Structure formats: structure tokens, C-alpha cells
Structure 1
């Protein structure tokens, strides 16, 4: 529906239409008694036509709201009940509340927000005092700058025409002056081009609106998605298990992510995520091309499903509990990601199929223990600066067998306290996660335990035994200026291999981001860190390298990328991942992965 502005210009135009309509009254006037009672005839779902003689109520709302308090046309044009104790006169004003009413304004001075210095003051004065067709709001205001609908304009015009009928019927020809008619004729000629242009714009807008309504996916559900195509290859490095050179082949793969976002009341959201992927990871724990999780890219397919099989990768319902608390209930989701819905700690690196190339450059390891599953996340704002997040995910919550289910199987329980500065240019988070994995259980990623990044020892368990971890993280982000931001984190995890012994794992990372680098909307990023490293191990525990043997060397993760924003929908991101001493063993030659990702968003 087209929207016009009910400001002083349209006050003038109503006066213009009122007077020019007098020129068009050429039939003998009927008396007021001959005018049939007012009725409303529905034409379509969006159109209401007043019958001849209707005198609609003019410009009243409940509490001066522009958007939510527009009076329904059914109330504006509704007939007066015959048995009404206090009948509404032909020009009486009624608000959307049937109990609130104000009589016709007799003087423009009754409108508190109209001043003699207003450029349309004389037009308003004429409409109020000469013709008696303008009424105000119950609070004695006119509100000349608020938006009005075409229904309201039609109601006002109808009131003016009704007034014309009264004047003609009463024979008040003294109100029709030759000077007025000559002025109106001049105005009609002067504004003819503008009226024609306005009519064309309105018609065009209505046509486009009708096309959008006819072609829209849904009135309550919005479909958003992205498709990524990746050309990638390992150009240096060995398999850390076989010690043989890794194949230096380039591949072309894809990933698809579709989200259906539905809101039932405007504050809640049901999200269903569909995904498909055929990207092969560069490595996993003692498997894959490189034989390690070091340098694992962020875009890779689940090993449990065939390539490019469309799966439901997420089902989540989010609703508000009061004004400061949001509840996310999910049957399938990455629970740690749910805590980032109010804003990630690492915004320029973290994102789905965008920004950072590797999984590690996006997140501290504290968020990577576990897998997708069912659970709940709660976000509560103590203030605009301080937020508490709590999350529980059951990795195999849909599986009723032994060592599975919501509470007996693999889980991650995570808590986070997040501080954001008033200007939102600084964020600091303190995070804790408790996770447990029964023996021989895996999730969608195909893993049993561990941060899914870093060394093979950090991701290993004792065969046939359960594993428990308490993980702590501190993450920070600071935007120095619009073109430069820095972020960093440190993480510590205490592993307990039940009935065997303990281990400690550390990680750290730091990144520089360059928003709008070379072009507005583009982004450059540099990241350096140490992926999760097993720094100590109980003497009687063997995780594959011997009793009590931990990672002996230090490996660095070095990454760079440039996301070139072609337009609002397309981004091209070349990048490189360089791992020194893969699997934290200096005898392994450095590995280098080149990456070129093109992302389409819609």
C-alpha cells in the first residue's frame, strides 16, 4: 500500500481538492434527508470503499504513535449505531478507543501544535473555520508531520465532499467566491506536471509491491542462504603418521547452507538450517592427508554422510523471557555457537563460510570441545555491558542406547561472562566448559573427544575409558579505529582419563583485522597462534606416543586472508595457512595450504 505524508503540503491539497470539487458539483443538490445512511462496502482484503454520503472520522489515534496506532479504516468509516446514546455528528472525531472522542475543532487555535508562523497556517485555518472539516486528536494536536495512509486520506477527502454536499444543499452560494475559483484554476494548471508524476510513481510502486507479494517465499518465514565454492590444495607438507609427502593436488569443492527463519510474534525465531558439503578436510586425528588436525579448514563435510547430501544440520527455537533474557532450545545445533548470537568475540574472523579460513583462527579451543546436538542456551543481560551465557549440549541426545541420551552420554556444559564497552569497540569474555565423553561415542564430526583442532595427543583418549575435561578461556577484542582491530585469546584445559590419569592442554592466538582494506566492505586478516598442545601427561597414560609422552615441540599456526567484497552478495577470499612443526614435532616439515573461496549470499 502506498504511503503519503500528511504534512502541511497535504493540508493545502485537501483545501485545493475541497474547493475544486465545488466546481464539479453540477447536479441539483439533494437535501440532507435524501442522503442514504453511511455504509462500508468491502471490495478486497485491502480496500474499503465508503458509500455515498459517508462522513468519516478524521485523523485520530490513541497515543500519538506513528506506526502502531494508525486507526483501522473499519473504525474510521464505521456507521454510528442507531441506538447510540450520544450519536457522533457528521464531523465528530473518534479515536481508535471507542471511549475517547473529541468534538469538531471550531478554531485553528484549538490545535496546540499549529502556529501562525507555519507556512500552511492559512490553509488549515480555512479548512477548520470556513469549511469545518478538520478535527484534531484527543490531545488537542494536529500532528502535521506524521505519516498517513491512503485510507486516512480517503477518509478526509470523503469528509470534505460531504461538507460540499451540505453547502450546496443549504444554498450557501455566498461561500463560493470568484476569486477562489480563479486561484484554484491557476493552481491546478501549475501543479498538473507534479500530479501526473506523482500518479505515475504511485502506480509503479503499487505494481512492484504486488509483484513482491506474489513472489515472496512466505509472509512469516525468511529464507537466507549461502553457497561457497572452494579451490584449494596442499603445496607443502608430509603426512605426520606415514612420514610420506602429502599429495599436492588442487581440488574444487562446495558447501551449501540454507536457513529458514520464522517469527510468530516478532520477538521469537524458529530457525531450521539445511546443509550440504563435499569438502574433504586436510586431516584429522591420525588420519587424512596430513594425519593431524593442525591447520584444519573451517569448511569441511561430515564424514558420516555422503558428499553433498542435504541434511538438517540445525533446528532451534529462540524466544524472549522478559526483556533481558533469551532462551534458545535446540534439537540440533552447535551449542557453543548459540552463545555467540548476541555478537561473537572475534567478529572479523568468525563466520560461516566467510572470513577466517581455518577453524582455529575463528575460535578459542574452549568452544570446540564437543559437537552438534540437542540442548538449551540461555543469554541474560545484567546490563547493556554485561551478559551471562549458559549452554548445555547433549551430543547424542537423540540416541537411547547405553552411554548416550540427554544426560548419560556425551555432553558439553558451558558458561560465559561477556563484557562489552559502551561504544562496542571492546569485548572481553571469560569462558568455562565442562565436557564428558563415554568410550566409543562419536558425533557428526566423527570425533570422540577433544578440541577437534591441534595435536593428535590433545584429541586422543584411552581406549575403552571415559574422558572428562574442564576447560577455561579468556578472549578479547578491541577495535582501535574503523580500519584496524586486534583480538586474542588464551585457553587451558585439564583432561582426566578416568581410572588412568591426567593431562594439560594449552593454546593461544592473536589476530589483526583490517576492515575496508583497499575497498569498502572488504576485509584483510592476519593470525598467529599455537593450536591446542598437550603439555603434560601422567606417567602411566599412553595416548599413542608412549607412557607419559606429551607434545615435545612448539608449532605455530600462521594464517592470512583477504576477503574481497565484489558486491553485497558475492565475496572472493584467497588465503594461506602455514603450520610450522606439524603435530608439534620439529622433525615434520612445514605444511602449507592455499585456499580460494567464493561465497554467494542471498
Structure 2
């Protein structure tokens, strides 16, 4: 290049467009990134890229002393590009590495001209100048090329040893220390409980084939035993229980995809749950690993209907404040025997209207219709008490099975849920639910029962430290308010009180001490208050 080119390079700042062509790690050495023509075309659709005229630089005027020099470089050699915002920044200082990167780009361009039989454009004087520059900056050029070689080697190794181009592994491990306290268990008898140390581990393989879909296969293992075995009530159950005897099980297989911009469909082969597919209006507490410590405190029981089997969920969101969700789940869908399967056994049909007029306010209206057949799915015989579960194992035993063990039950569930966020640090929410149930079998056929429940939540984010959460939950878990069957109506009212403080130690580790208090367990004031203390440590990766 000409002597004028040498002067421009020596005085000007970043005339080395493409000076990051050799190594993207130079971004740490310069506070602003200048990219190569190839990078610009691939990564920044609105960037300037390789300039074809010096007039493309918004901060270079024809009256500037360097205008003609830049014009010669651009039009003769084409080895200058600007910053992504279309500026040249001629008054900025230049480091030796930046200069070397720009020199490397110009050397490559000259070699390209020679290789394409256009060597007449390169004069002997220019070649001599380039040779002197190459010798002066030989160390920097060697460093740049070494970095490129190192990056290429690392990239090749990663590509050769990567697990999958479409699949990523997401994991969560929970260490739990907990104990139950109280004079007596619900229903009478001493509450004999020991402090336990238990765990739950989940590994999720999540694959995407189009970028807008997801295939999930989740493995689960754990030994967190249900508290109701010692307390006598489901009201004390934790929100992150899992007891597989520490054996590994596949608990979820599903595939979600966008039918179009407004319609998303999720098909589940096993482990289907409404609460993982729709908004439950309790953002701070819905997660089993980082939310409420209790089962009831995570969200309304209406979202637990039909859990565990197969089904499909469709969500329609045209982009405004309103979205609609519909779903159908069959807990015994995989059993081909009479009275089971997708349509001949237990099922839950679900619909929800979610309305978000502003970022601060969110409300949902939910309905579900369920049928529990009251039959053992393995032996196909009547009388399995655990097969009737009207409230997702929350609330009283009467609420779970209002007509008794193994009695087929249909029900209509109605729910209203809302959250209000007056600031980024404060969330207030809650839900109200009402259920009408009907006996579908035996001597009680045609009998009716009504259930009711509610809760209020308060979440204080960044309490004491960024990432921490102070949570308070208070409410009344499901209770039978009326029943045609004598003796199966709850006599009093239980209250659920919960406090937790999630401490974010790192981006991947959180510790959550919490306490759960159940007043009048099983909605019976003859029962003593029961306390549950927990310390949950959650690792995510």
C-alpha cells in the first residue's frame, strides 16, 4: 500500500475493520467489537459490514484530512469495515493487537487479489510496505494466528465429542432435612416422627428439532416419604415429595410444538399434569424445587386433576391480553383393560381463560370436569381407596373421597386465580376454588357433595440479597362443606400457614428453610396443631 496508507494506519484508530476476524476473544482486550464481513453478514443483520464507499461512514466527512486515504483503501483494496453502528471512530486510540488484526486482514485481502489474477492492483511499493509491516508486527500476527488455530482445534474437539446437536441435559437435585412436630397426629394417637435426611433427583433430556419445539424425557429418583404417614393428614405433605426407593424411573415423556404463531400443542405419553402446561398464577411458589415447601402452597388443587397419565394440551394465544387453554388427561391411558384406556376410564377435561391487561395484573378463570372410577388399575377390581382423589391429595380425607373408598365419583371444579405485582420486588396472589361432586356407583349413587378452598400468597423478592425470596402463604385447604352422606362432612375449619425464605447462594444453589403450621388438622378442632420444619437445598445444572 501507499505511504499515505501507512500514515493512516499509524494515526487512525480502528481502520482495521475485520480486526476480530482472527479471534473473538479479543473482545476482552477491546471494549468494543469490530466484526469481520462474514461475521457481520451472519450475526448482525443491521450492521454496516464491509464498506464499498467511504461515504458509508457517518463520522467521516469529505473535508477530513484522512478522507482520500480511506477512499483509496476502500475502493482499491476493500479491506476496511466499520463498526456495527456505521461509524469509523477516527479519534480512538489503537492497540498493537488491533493494528495487527487489521494488518492481517489486509494481508489476506492482498493475497486474495494475487490469487485471483488481479495482482496488477498491488504495486511493488505496496508490497514492500506490507512486508515491513509484517516483519514489525510478526509477534502479534503469530499470536493472532495461534489463537485462530487453537479455536479451530477446540471447535473440532467439541463437535466430535458433543452429546447431541439437538439435546441438552437439565438437572435438579434436592437435599431435604425435615421433621414433624405436635402432641398428637390427626385422628388421635401420638405423633412419633423422626428427623429425616432425604433427596430427590431429576434429569431431563430436552430436544428441539426446529427451535420452536421440545421433546422431553425426564428421569426421577428419590426417597422423600410423604408426611401424612406419621401426621395422619395430607395437609402436611411437602411440595417436592418423590419416593421411588432411590430407583430411577421415567416419570415424563412429552412433545410440545407450535402449530402456528398463536397455537401451541403439547402431547404427553406419561406424567401429564395441567400445572406444567398452563399459567397457575403463582409464579414465586409454583416450582417444587424453588417454590413453596408444601403441596397445597404451590398452586390451586384444580391444576392437579387427572395427573400422572397421558393427554394433550392446546394453548391459544393470539398475542393480546387474552389466552385460552384446553386439555384432556387420562390417568390410566396406558391400560387396555375394560374400564380404562383413553376414553373408557378416569379422565379430566380442563379449560382456562387467562387475562393479563397489564404486566402487574394477571387473572385466570378455570374449569375442570373429572371422573374417578374407583378401580384398581392393576387388578381391575373395585375398592382401591387411593384411586379416588378429588383434590390432588390436598385437604381433608373427606375432600379427597367424599363418598368413601373406591366409590366412582364425577365432579365439576371451578377456580379463580390471580396475581398482582405492584413492583418488581412484591407479588401478591391467591386462589379460590369450589367443587361439586356426585357419586356414580353403589348405594350412594346420585348423592352430592360440595367442597371449598382458598389461599393468599405474598412474595418479597431480593429480600436481604439479590435473588432471595421471602414467602408467606395462608389459606384453607379443601374441605367438604355439605354432603348427602351422613358423617362425611367436615365439622370445622383448618388453616394452612406457611413461611419460607429462599437464600440464593449461587446461580445454581439455593437453600430454603421453611415452616408449615396446620391449625385444626383435617378440619377438626379436636385435633392438635401440627408443625412441619424443613430445610431444602436445591442444586440446578
Range of TM-score over shorter length: 0.7 to 0.9
Q: Which residue does the alignment assign to 1:485?
A: 427
Q: Which residue does the alignment assign to 2:492?
A: 553
Aligned-residue CA RMSD (Å):
3.9
The match for 1:530 among 466, 471, 476 is 476
User: Structure 1 residues 207, 447: CA separation in 2 closer, same or farther (over 3 Å shift)?
Assistant: farther
The match for 1:393 among 329, 332, 337 is 329
* Residues 1:290 and 2:231 aligned together: yes
* TM-score, scaled to structure 1: 0.72
State how many pairs are aligned: 486
Deviation at 1:594, TM superposition (A): 0.6
Residues 388 and 415, structure 1, Cα contact 8 Å, conserved in 2 = yes
* Residues 1:160 and 2:110 aligned together: yes
**Which has the larger Rg?**
1
Equivalent-residue separation in structure 2 for 1:123 and 1:590 (angstroms): 86
Q: Which residue does the alignment assign to 1:52?
A: none
User: Structure 1 residues 469, 177: CA separation in 2 closer, same or farther (over 3 Å shift)?
Assistant: closer
Alignment of 1:19-34 (within 5 A): none
User: Structure 1 residues 412, 128: CA separation in 2 closer, same or farther (over 3 Å shift)?
Assistant: same
User: Structure 1 residues 480, 465: CA separation in 2 closer, same or farther (over 3 Å shift)?
Assistant: same
Deviation at 1:159, TM superposition (A): 4.5
* Residues 1:231 and 2:177 aligned together: yes
Deviation at 1:577, TM superposition (A): 0.6
Q: Which sections of structure 1, spanning at least 5 residues, go unmatched? A: 1-7, 18-57, 71-103, 146-152, 542-546
Residues 372 and 387, structure 2, Cα contact 8 Å, conserved in 1 = no
Deviation at 1:590, TM superposition (A): 0.2
Q: Which residue does the alignment assign to 1:86?
A: none
The match for 2:342 among 375, 399, 406 is 406
Q: Which residue does the alignment assign to 2:364?
A: 429
User: SS state of the match for residue 411, structure 2?
Assistant: strand
* Residues 1:261 and 2:206 aligned together: yes
Equivalent-residue separation in structure 1 for 2:213 and 2:114 (angstroms): 50
Deviation at 1:356, TM superposition (A): 0.5
Alignment of 1:12-91 (within 5 A): 12=16, 66-67=42-43
Q: Which residue does the alignment assign to 2:94?
A: none
Residues 273 and 306, structure 2, Cα contact 8 Å, conserved in 1 = no
User: Structure 1 residues 437, 14: CA separation in 2 closer, same or farther (over 3 Å shift)?
Assistant: closer
User: SS state of the match for residue 12, structure 1?
Assistant: coil
User: Structure 1 residues 357, 60: CA separation in 2 closer, same or farther (over 3 Å shift)?
Assistant: closer
User: Structure 1 residues 386, 430: CA separation in 2 closer, same or farther (over 3 Å shift)?
Assistant: same
User: Structure 1 residues 59, 564: CA separation in 2 closer, same or farther (over 3 Å shift)?
Assistant: closer
Deviation at 1:333, TM superposition (A): 2.5
Larger fraction in helix: 2
Deviation at 1:192, TM superposition (A): 7.1
The match for 2:314 among 366, 378, 389 is 378
* Residues 1:516 and 2:454 aligned together: no
Equivalent-residue separation in structure 2 for 1:218 and 1:194 (angstroms): 37
Deviation at 1:310, TM superposition (A): 0.9
The match for 1:366 among 275, 280, 302 is 302
User: SS state of the match for residue 217, structure 1?
Assistant: coil
Q: Which residue does the alignment assign to 1:27?
A: none
Residues 247 and 289, structure 1, Cα contact 8 Å, conserved in 2 = yes
The match for 1:448 among 388, 393, 396 is 388
Q: Which residue does the alignment assign to 2:216?
A: 271
Q: Which residue does the alignment assign to 1:315?
A: 253
